[in-house]
Structure 1
Amino acid sequence: MTFQMYSSYKDAGFVGLDQVPSHWDVLRFKQVFGEVNERSTTGEEELLSVSEYYGVKPRSQKIDEGEHLSRAESLEGYKLCDEGDLVMNIMLAWKRGLGVTNYRGIVSPAYAVFRLVRDDFPFYYHYLLRSNEYIGYFKTFSSGVIDSRLRLYPEVFGRLTAIVPPLNEQTQIARFLDHETAKIDGLIREQERLIGLLQEKRQAVISHAVTKGLKPDVPMKDSGVEWLGRVPAHWTSSSIKRFCSLVKDGTHLPPPRVSEGIPLLSVRNIVGGEFVRRSDDSKISENDYVALCRSFTPQQRDVLLAIVGATLGKTAIISDAMGHFHIQRSLALFRADASKLNPHWLHWVFQSAGFQSLLWEYAGFSAQPGIYLGTLASFKIPVPPIKEQIEINEWIGRQIDPMNTLIKEAESAVLLMKERRSSLISAAVTGKIDIRNWQPPADSMVLNEGASELGVEETAAGRKV
Structure 2
Amino acid sequence: MKNFKNSGIEWLGEIPEHWEVVKGFFLFFSKKELNLNFQCKDRLALTLNGVIEKSISQNDGLNPLDFRTYQIFEKNDLVFKLIDLDNINTSRVGYVHKKGIMSSAYIRLISKNKNYPKYFFYYYYNLYIKQIFNNLGTGVRATLKPDELLSIKLCYPPLKEQEQIANFLDEKCEKIQNFIEKKEKLLSLLQEQKQALINETITKGLDKNVKLKNSGIEWLGEIPEHWEVRKLKMLFSFGNGLNITKADFISFGIPCISYGEIHSKYPCRLDLSVHKLPFVSETYLNDKPQSLLSKGDFVFADTSEDIEGSGNFTCIQSNIPLFAGYHTIILRPKTQIYSLYFSFLFDSIFVRNQIREKVWGVKVFSITKSILKEVQCFIPPLKEQEQIANFLDEKCEKIDSLITKIKKQIELIKEYKTTLINEAVCGRINN
Counterparts of 1:259 and 1:79, CA distance in 2: 49
Q: 1:383 to 1:353 in 2, by over 3 A?
A: closer
**Sequence identity percentage:** 23
The equivalent of 1:29 in structure 2 is 24
Alignment of 1:264-279 (within 5 A): 265-266=260-261, 269-270=264-265
Counterparts of 2:40 and 2:337, CA distance in 1: 53
Counterparts of 1:274 and 1:99, CA distance in 2: 40
The equivalent of 1:178 in structure 2 is 170
The equivalent of 1:394 in structure 2 is 390
Q: 1:412 to 1:384 in 2, by over 3 A?
A: same
Task: Quote the offset at 1:242 in angstroms.
Answer: 5.4
The equivalent of 2:109 in structure 1 is 114
The equivalent of 1:8 in structure 2 is 3
Counterparts of 2:109 and 2:379, CA distance in 1: 60
The equivalent of 1:167 in structure 2 is 159
Alignment of 1:52-451 (within 5 A): 52=48, 54-59=49-54, 71-74=60-63, 75-76=66-67, 77-91=69-83, 93=85, 95=88, 97-131=92-126, 135-143=130-138, 150-240=142-232, 243-246=235-238, 265-266=260-261, 269-270=264-265, 301-304=297-300, 307-309=304-306, 312=309, 316-317=314-315, 320=318, 333-337=329-333, 339=335, 342-356=338-352, 366=362, 368=363, 370-374=364-368, 377=372, 380-385=375-380, 387=382, 388-435=384-431
Q: What TM-score do the two structures reach when normalised by structure 1?
A: 0.70
The equivalent of 1:462 in structure 2 is none
Counterparts of 2:250 and 2:27, CA distance in 1: 37
Q: Which runs of 5+ in 1 are unaligned?
A: 61-68, 436-465
Deviations 1:316-352 (A, max 9, x none): 54554999798787xx655342636654334323432
For the 8 Å contact 2:249–2:278, the answer to whether it is kept is yes
SS of equivalent to 2:72: strand
Q: 1:237 to 1:111 in 2, by over 3 A?
A: farther
Counterparts of 1:107 and 1:247, CA distance in 2: 49
Task: Quote the offset at 1:386 in angstroms.
Answer: 6.3
Task: Quote the offset at 1:296 in angstroms.
Answer: 5.5
Q: 1:241 to 1:426 in 2, by over 3 A?
A: farther
Counterparts of 1:255 and 1:412, CA distance in 2: 31
Task: Quote the offset at 1:228 in angstroms.
Answer: 3.2
Q: 1:34 to 1:201 in 2, by over 3 A?
A: same
Amino acid across the alignment from 1:12:
S
Amino acid across the alignment from 2:402:
L
Q: Rg bigger for which structure?
A: 2
Asked which structure has the greater RCO (Cα within 8 Å, sep 6+), the reply is 1
Amino acid across the alignment from 1:407:
I
Alignment of 1:46-57 (within 5 A): 46-52=42-48, 54-57=49-52
Amino acid across the alignment from 1:194:
L
Task: Quote the offset at 1:303 in angstroms.
Answer: 4.1
For the 8 Å contact 2:236–2:335, the answer to whether it is kept is no
Amino acid across the alignment from 1:73:
L
Q: 1:311 to 1:35 in 2, by over 3 A?
A: farther
Q: Which runs of 5+ in 2 are unaligned?
A: none
Task: Quote the offset at 1:400 in angstroms.
Answer: 1.9
Task: Quote the offset at 1:285 in angstroms.
Answer: 9.9
Deviations 1:412-431 (A, max 9, x none): 22221121121111110122
May I ask how many residue pairs the two structures share in their alignment?
Answer: 406
Amino acid across the alignment from 2:24:
F
Counterparts of 1:8 and 1:350, CA distance in 2: 62
Counterparts of 1:43 and 1:237, CA distance in 2: 62
SS of equivalent to 2:195: helix
Amino acid across the alignment from 1:120:
N
Q: What TM-score do the two structures reach when normalised by structure 2?
A: 0.75
Amino acid across the alignment from 1:14:
I
Counterparts of 1:43 and 1:273, CA distance in 2: 53
For the 8 Å contact 2:227–2:381, the answer to whether it is kept is no
